[in-house]
């Protein structure tokens, strides 16, 4: 950008420093965590099947939750982190050349327009104060598609204030986060020339419940009826969203 974007905060957006840390990774270290990541991975890889061999920019993806499975499935992945420390969880894969890592602002990406086939950002949007700028930048650098996730307002997350203490006791490093309406995200994508092409809520029951149970089979059994009855589609969270360029 030639002129400073006045919609951006004066304080840098560095939420991915936390989500790229070993402490954050510990949330997904047990059986329940691996099961939850598996749900996320299957949805995203299913969508990515439409873009074989694509180049992918994973903004704030130093946690490796999608960068690693994407690279393992033949996609050419670049991870952008707001700080060099965001590479710690994926350092070995970067050293081996399986991933590329670049440091830069998550709301002023250091890449030209349409530099990647697909731009992805997971676990970042609800912690980013300038989230509209993040969405705009993802759209700017993506030739074909953008994939993001966010906690839905119309879900059990509406009780997030009441559940925050429980989440902190279970997770240890829980942070406040922004809830979004589906139309809110869709409008921002629309402004950048993208239209929603897919939307999937991952869980009906709160993720903190699954972490407390730490029994994937029981969690799957709890989620199955809600999914079958359409409750997950209506009230589930977090939501994964795929948008495609309209041109």
Looking at the domain assignment, is residue 25 inside a domain? yes
Q: Residue 229: give its domain's CATH number.
A: 3.40.50.150
Peptide bond into 175 cis (omega under 30): no
pLDDT digits (tens, 9 = 90+) for 196-242: 999 999 999 988 899 889 999 999 999 999 999 999 999 999 999 99
Question: Residues 219, 199: contact at Cβ < 8 Å?
Answer: no
**Alpha carbon distance 227, 222 (integer Å):** 9
pLDDT digits (tens, 9 = 90+) for 106-132: 999 999 999 999 999 999 999 999 999
Looking at the domain assignment, is residue 85 inside a domain? yes
Number of domains in the chain: 1
**Encoding tokens for residue 136?**
């705009």
Question: Residues 203, 236: contact at Cβ < 8 Å?
Answer: yes
Give the DSSP letter of residue 56: E
Looking at the domain assignment, is residue 4 inside a domain? no
122 closest CA partner among 235, 20, 198: 20
Backbone angles phi, psi at 98, to 5 degrees: -80, -25
240 closest CA partner among 163, 160, 145, 162: 145
pLDDT digits (tens, 9 = 90+) for 47-89: 999 999 999 999 999 999 999 999 999 999 999 999 999 999 9
Query: Rounded mean pLDDT of 18-47?
Result: 95
Looking at the domain assignment, is residue 7 inside a domain? no
Looking at the domain assignment, is residue 5 inside a domain? no
Looking at the domain assignment, is residue 78 inside a domain? yes
pLDDT digits (tens, 9 = 90+) for 84-110: 999 999 999 999 999 999 999 999 999
Question: Which residues constitute the domain of residue 151?
Answer: 15-245
Looking at the domain assignment, is residue 2 inside a domain? no
Question: Residues 48, 109: contact at Cβ < 8 Å?
Answer: no
Looking at the domain assignment, is residue 67 inside a domain? yes
pLDDT digits (tens, 9 = 90+) for 135-187: 999 999 999 999 999 998 876 655 455 455 555 555 555 556 789 999 999 99
């Amino acid at each position: 950008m030639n002129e400073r974007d006045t919609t951006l905060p004066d304080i840098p957006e560095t939420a991915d420093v936390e989500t790229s840390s070993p402490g954050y990774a510990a949330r997904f270290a047990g059986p329940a965590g691996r099961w939850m990541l598996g749900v996320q991975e299957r949805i995203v890889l299913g969508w990515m099947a439409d873009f074989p061999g694509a180049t992918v920019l994973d903004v704030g993806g130093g946690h490796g939750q999608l960068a690693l499975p994407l690279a393992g499935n033949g996609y050419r992945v670049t991870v952008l982190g707001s700080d060099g420390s965001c590479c710690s969880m994926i350092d070995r894969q970067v050293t081996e050349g399986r991933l590329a890592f670049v440091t830069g602002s998550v709301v002023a990406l250091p890449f030209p327009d349409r530099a990647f086939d697909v731009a992805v950002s997971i676990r970042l949007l609800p912690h980013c104060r300038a989230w509209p700028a993040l969405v705009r930048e993802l759209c700017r650098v993506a030739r074909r598609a953008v994939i993001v996730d966010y906690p839905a307002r119309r879900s059990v997350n509406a009780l997030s204030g009441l559940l925050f203490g429980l989440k902190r006791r279970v997770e240890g490093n829980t942070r406040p986060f922004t809830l979004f309406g589906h139309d809110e995200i869709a409008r921002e994508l629309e402004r950048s020339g993208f239209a929603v092409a897919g939307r999937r809520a991952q869980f009906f029951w709160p993720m903190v419940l699954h972490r407390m149970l730490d029994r994937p089979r029981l969690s799957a059994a709890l989620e199955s009826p809600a999914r079958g009855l359409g409750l997950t589609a209506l009230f589930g969270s977090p939501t994964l969203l795929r948008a495609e360029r309209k041109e």
